[in-house]
A and B are shown apart, each in its own frame.
Chain A
Amino acid sequence: MPSGHETTPIIYLKVMRTALLAALLTACALGQEAAVEQLFSGALEAQQRGDFALAAANYQQIVKQQPGFFGAWANLGVVLVRLGRFDEAIAAYRSALHLDPSNRALQMNLALAFYKQGDLRQAARELGELHQADPGNPQVATLLGDCWLRLGDPQQALLVVAPIAAAHPDDLDLAYVLGSALIATGKSREGLALVERVATQKNNADAYLLAGKTWLKIGDPDQAMPDLEAAAKLNPALPGIYTLRGVAREGTFNNDGAEADLRKALELDANDLEALVHLGAILYTKRDLASAKTVLDRALKIDPSSLFGIYEMALWKSASGQLEGAVRDLETVVHRDPNWMQAHVQLAALYYRLNRPEDGLKERQIVERLSAEQQKAEAGGARGH
């Protein structure tokens, strides 16, 4: 996500007021417990000056003495989150919620604790309840949508964020989650429009990266290039940026630039499969067959089932005169991906070279069918020669 959705400060103040009131009431009612009040004040002061460890210790002491002290439980959760002690924080929030089950602000804090801990399923459960209670809340919807995206269920994310997006046109976090969900559910161009808007308005490297990656995925490296350039400029350390830009450069005929990027990517991660395969493809195009073989061998050692790796190796074999081997590889490719048109094209040519015209003709018929389907599906958009 582009930003952290930090709701803690607002909730913290509300909780603090509640806690103080509760503490005073308790003190008045009982006419005692001056020590608890003092402890609470000390804890608040420590919390405000950032001494979360002392605050936590104080709050823990309070709730030990007064287990029904809602404010102390709530604040204890807050400071424990700041200390990264998520399990204890979650337990504290749960104790507070036991005392005040309808406190939505506290439930949001609990959800955030799960979210920050990385327990997205639990976070989604808490956020789901909040969303059910307040479906129009953009903050809850954004976080819940993001959880679903990360949990690999973009359809759920879409169901959460899409209905309220129109009401919050300027909420860029919401737009980003919606754009991501659209992209992940196959509505790439709709999603790209949103993600590119977020990228531009927030000058956000992640958003640029996602946009560039999406353009590449839909086969438009020309469009991917400016987004990936912007992402690289904003954050050169962005994971995968050199690989993606290398692939885009390759697609825009800038093989030298692509090779430099892919080599850089491999410096950062020698096992970057995508970088290896694309570098192999570039070296093959340059007919540096020996180097291409080395790189492709490495790629297939990392992942022998890499379809792109097998495909590129087939091209290498074809150029090296190993036609039978190339055919075997391409047959594997089209078996696993029957819609890979280029593999069918190459297979057709190889069958004819191996004097298997009947097989060649079958492949040509497949190519013609796929071409027709492609034309039908493409209503316009991508460009390029």
Chain B
Amino acid sequence: MRQFPGPLLLAALLTAAGLLLTTARSASSPIRFEFQAIPFHLENDLTPARNAPESMPGGVALFDYNRDGRADIFFTNGAPIATLKKDEPKYRNRLFRNDGNGAFTDVTEAAGLAGIGYDMGAAVGDYDNDGWPDLFVAGVYHNTLYHNNHDGTFTDVTAKAGLDRSQDPEFGPLWAVAAAWVDVNNDGLLDLFVVNYMQWKYDSKPLCSFQGQADFCHPRFYKGLPNQLFLNKGDGTFEDVSARWGIREHVSRGMGVGVADYDQDGKPDLFVPNDAFYNSLFHNLGGKFEETAFPAGVALPEDGSFVSGMGLDFRDFNNDGYPDITFTALNNQTFPLFLNTGRKTFREVTTESGLRTLTLRMAGYGVGLYDFDNDGWKDLFVARGHVSSLPQPGLEIDQHNTVFRNPGASGKWLALTEEAGLAARPPARHRGCAFGDLDGDGRIDVVVTALGGDAEIWMNRSEHTGHWLDIALEGTKSNRDGIGAQIKVVTKAGAQYNHMTTSVSYASSSAGPVHFGLGAEGRAESVEIRWPSGMVETLSNVAGDRVVKVKEGKR
């Protein structure tokens, strides 16, 4: 006869089982990050008056500025709010060279990237197709274009490039928060789209308070600004074509820009989340954009209310070949997720994906859709934190970052915070974040900024990750970075899609190559690349767990 344990023994067994389960659950979290410090403190010059720019920095860019094969890190930084001029070393923007083995060296001075103004966003792109990544820095009343000199240094070419006009005759001084490099006319030259936020002036600003203490005003107190589009003329200069291309007429409060060809017509489109206003979806007609957010169904989330749209990613998360959209917002607004129907419209799936319930109490800025566990499905990382500077009942101002695991073909998304190791640091008001493989291990790492706090490097230490494949593009007829190129990878498990862009997240710029998780498959049956030039190239039987370099038209 079978013997059952007595009550005491049973209790002991249950306890042991519980412990085992707890340990197993923690260890088996599909995505795990490990914190690594980096000596950068984001100085926003928080003043008692709570000027709007003080809540907005800062961006981060991952890019291999010295072409040594390792992604380096650039941070934007603030300045005294009254002068908007960096007058102390603590306000310098910072460039950290990735020396490998987790070591980063501050090379800001040598590189000439300290900056001069109150800076916000960063956008990386090789605008002159010389093979070396250049850097655009967006800021309050002042943008900067840095040309890469190929020797570890940069030159400020803003004026030479014709990008130094930050005073608009109609709207006054412009405050840019983000930018994207994108070849809007597919002429092989990267153009520049600058996201402008709102009309703020130090001397004539609204003052808002909470329980007698000043705090940041709602954006509705400020008038918006138009975004700008600069066409690359190929001679190191740019032409402002905002009006001609249908951008200038749309005045709003832009917070970021994502680049993707959502209708697969071969021309890159732009999505701009706006703060407390309709989002903008600029459909590229070739020579002009039409704003089509309402007909496409992405002007507003499903509640039909204005939300504080922040950072975004414009990328296919369900592997159907059509770029989808997600963006961050504040508490009670969710992080909406829009599914591209393939018919030039989007359908919001925040509720049915489970993200509504998971994100309703969260606020976020930076965001990115990357396959962190290399299972073939892109997950969602959010740099979380609120706008407000004062604690309020029921509202978390400082928040932990969270990664949401994509369930794949079916099921609900899963929020991983403590489980993913992201509670290893105190909560903060996180802002920008950028993505890339900092240690070359095939797992996407994240660098996050925190308002008035230390930056955080989150090294991806996920165990049991799948195989991976990174595609490093080099355009010849297309722009050299291959920005806008669409890649389809087919394994035995199915097809998945991604495209080349550095414009991801909030005020930030992420590093190539284009990353794919292959899951259990060690190789891809095919890799199809659709270049912005229109050329289509296909690679067959590509081994995984490596970076494959593809030069346009050379295979």
Give the interface of A toward B (CB within 8 A).
Answer: 222-223, 225-226, 249, 252-257, 285-287, 315, 318-319, 342, 345-346, 348-350, 352-353, 357, 360, 364, 371, 374-375, 378-385
Contacts and interface: CB of A to CB of B under 8 A. Distances in A.
A257 B351 contact: no
Interface in B378-434: 386-388, 392-395
Contact of B217 (A357, A364, A383): A383
B331 interface: yes
Given A348-B294, A383-B217, A285 B332 contact: yes
Contact of A385 (B211, B218, B278, B300): B218
Contact of B395 (A254, A345, A380, A381): A254
Interface of B: 206-211, 215-218, 220-223, 277-278, 294-295, 297, 299-300, 302-306, 308, 330-332, 351, 356-357, 360-361, 386-388, 392-395
A315 B304 contact: yes
B303 to A, nearest CB: 7
Given A345-B304, A385-B388, A249 B394 contact: yes
A346 B300 CA distance: 9
Given A222-B210, A349-B300, A378 B392 contact: no
16 contacts: A222-B210, A252-B393, A252-B394, A254-B395, A287-B356, A348-B294, A349-B294, A350-B304, A352-B297, A374-B220, A375-B221, A378-B206, A378-B220, A381-B207, A384-B208, A385-B330
Given A257-B394, A384-B218, A226 B211 contact: yes
Contacts of B210: 222-223, 383-384
Nearest to B207: A380
Contacts of B294: 348-349, 352, 357, 360, 364
B216 A385 contact: yes
B220 A375 contact: yes
Given A345-B300, A381-B208, A383-B210, A222 B392 contact: yes
A253 B334 CA distance: 12
Given A252-B395, A380-B207, A287 B351 contact: yes
B206 A380 contact: yes
Contacts of B395: 252-254
Contact of A225 (B206, B209, B393): B393
A312 B277 CA distance: 21
Given A285-B360, A287-B356, A342-B305, A357 B221 contact: no
B304 A385 contact: no
Contacts of B387: 385
A253 B307 CA distance: 14
State the majority secondary structure of interface residues on B: loop
A43 B411 CA distance: 87
Interface pairs A-B: 7 shortest CB-CB: A254-B394, A346-B304, A383-B208, A380-B206, A352-B294, A253-B331, A385-B387
B11 to A, nearest CB: 34
B209 A383 contact: yes
Contacts of B394: 249, 252-254, 256-257
A239 B305 CA distance: 32
A325 to B, nearest CB: 14
A371 B220 contact: yes
Nearest to B293: A352
Which of A318, A346, A382, A383 counts the most B-chain CB atoms under 10 A from its CB?
A: A383
A382 B223 CA distance: 16
Contacts of A371: 220, 277
A380 B305 contact: no
Nearest to A348: B294
B211 A223 contact: yes
Contacts of A226: 211
A380 B220 CA distance: 10
Given A253-B332, A383-B215, A385-B387, 20 more contacts: A222-B392, A225-B392, A249-B393, A252-B392, A253-B394, A254-B393, A254-B394, A254-B395, A286-B360, A287-B356, A342-B305, A342-B306, A345-B278, A346-B300, A350-B304, A380-B206, A382-B218, A384-B208, A385-B218, A385-B330
A225 B211 CA distance: 9
A89 B447 CA distance: 81
A222 B391 CA distance: 11
A167 to B, nearest CB: 28
Contacts of B206: 378-380
A342 B207 CA distance: 24
Given A287-B351, A352-B295, A383-B208, A346 B332 contact: no
A157 B305 CA distance: 40
Contacts of B211: 222-223, 226
B299 A349 contact: yes
Contacts of B360: 255, 285-286
A257 B361 CA distance: 13
Nearest to A361: B294
B393 A383 contact: no
Contacts of A380: 206-208, 217, 221
Contacts of B217: 380, 383
Contacts of A255: 332, 360
A26 to B, nearest CB: 64
A345 to B, nearest CB: 6
A232 to B, nearest CB: 13
A321 to B, nearest CB: 11
Nearest to A282: B332
A200 to B, nearest CB: 12
B393 to A, nearest CB: 6
Contacts of B277: 371
Nearest to A382: B208
A13 B364 CA distance: 70
Contacts of A319: 302-303
Contacts of B222: 375
A253 to B, nearest CB: 4
Which of A225, A256, A257, A384 counts the most B-chain CB atoms under 10 A from its CB?
A: A384
A366 to B, nearest CB: 13
A4 B235 CA distance: 83
A259 B373 CA distance: 38
A191 B417 CA distance: 46
A255 B357 CA distance: 13
Contacts of B330: 385
Given A223-B210, A378-B221, A383 B216 contact: yes
A51 to B, nearest CB: 52
A252 B200 CA distance: 25
A243 B315 CA distance: 44
A236 to B, nearest CB: 18
A385 B208 contact: no
